[in-house]
Amino acid sequence: MLEVMFSHCAGVDVHKKSVTVCVLIPGKKGRVRRIVRSFGTTTKALLEMRAWLLSLGVTHVAMESTGVYWKPVYNILSDELEAWVVNAQHIKQVPGRKTDVKDAEWIATLMRLGLLNNSFIPEESQRDLRDLTRYRTQLTNERSASVNRVQKVLEDGNIKLASVVSDIQGVSARRMLEALIGGQEESEAMAELAKGRLRSKIPELVEALTGQVRGHHRFLLAELLEHLDGLNQRLAQLNERIGQQTAPQAELIERLDAIPGVGKHTAEILLAEIGHTVEQFPSEKHLASWACLCPGNNISANKRRSGKTRKGQKWLRTALTEAAWAASRTKDTYLGAQFHRLRVRRGAKRAAIAVAHSILTIVYHLIKDPNATFNELGGDYFIKRNKGDQQRRAIKTLTALGFAVELTPVAA
């Protein structure tokens, strides 16, 4: 017999225009009294729902994390009730009994018996910062897509500018594109617009800018550049707003920025997704599990099956994976050495996930301890850690190649 954890609780089945609420409270003769009622999702209707729940003595309410529709319900209920948002995968209904009332009753039953886990819902200021950083990520991706569209139009007009210029959004490339849009057809004149070190490539630019550009291409390029300018302006405004929001944690962002592969923008995303405290995560392992960056646990009949990571928390996972790829290109760093060491045995993608897990572990301790700083172990950490194994492996390799090896220590 399962123990009752919450005697006065409710389950809410959330939809876009309506919510179905099932309340479970003690009844007569030790029985459970079930009350079901539906409400709208406007603020007035949700306030009425909250007043009704309070009148019944409800203390805990659970709901599924259905898209974004749970947010207005949570915002209204969390002021005076213990509102839980739970993972929909954890409360799948019994097949063949799928109705809104049954869903609400099932959620309430699981809540009453303490079989649900509350999801981490950060405070309002952190949720606002999340909205800003996630919107910035979307705009950044949109800008990259627009740059690719510019490249496609240039290729269609036989313009090979990207083959010579490393950054098609740079000052020199922009001047050439504007001249192209303005009707300039002389490739020599456009190549002369190059600045700085790019002037050494003027002969290559002359050849690359010789193409078959039509009015159609000029129109598309003008539209795309205007769109890029608008995106850059919005991104600048977002960066300024995010800087204002994260000003109190400037010192923490600076310490996170010291991690190889982690830049300022990535540090701001980490702060938005995790928060400036890790009290909600008992250990770095709990944080890695929440971020879906740890191996899955799937064992049956003493046989370990696929240990692939779970899907979820795409914003944090994506930022950490990008940081891991950036760290893999750093020289003489522990994270870079870890990536190249694992890539040989596990492949590049799995090595990147392992490095992302390491970065998240570092982030956890930097946030947990305000006085902690990142300590670089160096790219030779794995060699120094097992000197004996490294010596034996080197001697074995040289012996196999036909050399007689005699080791002589070098004075420090």
Q: What residue spans define the domains of the chain?
A: 9-112, 125-245, 249-298+307-368
Equal fold, 9-112 vs 125-245: no
pLDDT bin (cut points 50, 70, 90) of residue 96 is: low
Q: Residue holding tokens 């596990």?
A: 346
pLDDT value of position 2: 76
Helices (H) and strands (E) in the chain, counts: 16, 7
User: 9-112 — its CATH code?
Assistant: 3.30.420.10
Q: How many CB atoms lie within 10 A of CB 410?
A: 5
d(CA 232, CA 192) in angstroms, rounded, equals 26
pLDDT value of position 304: 76
pLDDT bin (cut points 50, 70, 90) of residue 313 is: confident
pLDDT value of position 412: 64
pLDDT value of position 1: 63
Residue 168 CA from chain centroid, whole number? 27
d(CA 159, CA 211) in angstroms, rounded, equals 5
> Two tokens at 338?
């870890």
Q: Is the pLDDT of residue 97 over 80?
A: no
SS3 category, 82:
strand
CA distances to 27, 77, 113, 221, 396 from 9, in Å: 13, 13, 10, 59, 68
d(CA 319, CA 266) in angstroms, rounded, equals 6
Is the distance from CB of 159 to CB of 205 less than 8 angstroms?
no
Order of all β-strands in the sheet with 18-26: 32-40, 18-26, 9-14, 60-64, 82-86
List, in order, residues 6 or more apart from 383 with CB less than 8 Å away.
390
Residue type, 359: I
SS3 category, 40:
strand
d(CA 89, CA 136) in angstroms, rounded, equals 29
Is the distance from CB of 114 to CB of 217 less than 8 angstroms?
no
CA distances to 8, 72, 106, 272 from 347, in Å: 52, 44, 44, 31
Give the mean pLDDT of 207-226: 93
**More confident: 95 or 221:** 221
Q: Is the pLDDT of residue 308 over 90?
A: no
Q: Residues 147, 151, 153, 157: is their CA dihedral positive or negative?
A: positive
Please give the angle made by the CA atoms of 40, 44 and 47, to the nearest 5 degrees. 90
**More confident: 379 or 295:** 379
**Beta strand 32-40 pairing with 60-64:** unpaired
CA distances to 11, 339, 362, 410 from 389, in Å: 59, 20, 27, 18
Closest C-alpha to 155, from 232, 229, 200, 220: 220
Give the mean pLDDT of 172-200: 91
Closest C-alpha to 323, from 253, 276, 265: 265
Percent of the chain at pLDDT exceeding 70: 98
Closest C-alpha to 239, from 269, 262, 275, 259: 269
Query: Going by CATH, does the domain composed of 125-245 fall within 1.10.287?
Result: yes
SS3 category, 138:
helix
Chain segment 43-62, per-residue pLDDT in tens: 999 999 999 999 999 999 99
Q: Is the pLDDT of residue 35 over 90?
A: yes
| Average predicted confidence (pLDDT) for the chain | 91
183: left (phi over 0), alpha (psi -120 to 50) or beta: left
SS3 category, 300:
strand
> 60: which DSSP letter?
E
